[in-house]
Amino acid sequence: MATAVYPGTFDPVTHGHLDILRRATQVFSHVVVATTEVPQKQCLFTLEERLAQLLQAVEGLPNVEVQSFSGMLVDFVRSIGASVIIRGLRETTDFEYEFQMALMNKRIAPEIETVFFVTALDYLYLSSSLVTDIALRGGDISAFVPTFVEDAIMQKLGKG
């Protein structure tokens, strides 16, 4: 079975991401979770912090590895001998962006397939920036992220 790469900013990783990841491990023999700098985004956590959080989040998940990359995603996928990119789909608004990215990646690297997992209903409206915003306003985020991520957000926001 193929090695798949699950890329994202993961700023921070949420239960929505982890749900996709768990399901991906049931389909692919080896899944590499890959994070990177995304210049268009103003991240709450540094790349090193996001990497450390991902490492902790995937503990106990079989056949999962965490890596960071720079440059093009398809170059990274090729460099590790993988052939699949995994993306999660939530509402229809994700579709346009994901469709564009998948087609562009296909244009650059025709041998790499993008495979979409539809989000679990519980995580339909979840996003990393929403979680951070809720935390910033004093809301309860415990249902959306692992406890250690919740603690890291609180600390980062000076609410620890």
User: Which residues would be at the binding site for ligand COA (CB under 6 A)?
Assistant: 7-11, 14, 16-17, 20, 36, 38, 72-73, 88, 90, 101, 104-105, 119, 123, 126-129
50 among known catalytic residues: no
Annotated catalytic residue within 29, 41, 79, 159: 41
70 among known catalytic residues: no
| One-letter amino acid of 85 | I
Residue number, 39 or 158, with CB nearest to ligand COA: 39
Q: Provide, rounded to whole angstroms, the least separation between the CB of residue 28 and ligand COA.
A: 16
Q: Give CA torsion, residues 59, 61, 63, 69, to 10 deg.
A: -50
CA atoms within 13 A on the CB side of 153: 28
Annotated catalytic residue within 15, 50, 87, 128: 128
41 among known catalytic residues: yes
90 among known catalytic residues: yes
Phi/psi at 116 (nearest 5 deg)? -100, 135
H or E element that contains 156: helix 147-156
Catalytic (active-site) positions: 17, 41, 90, 128
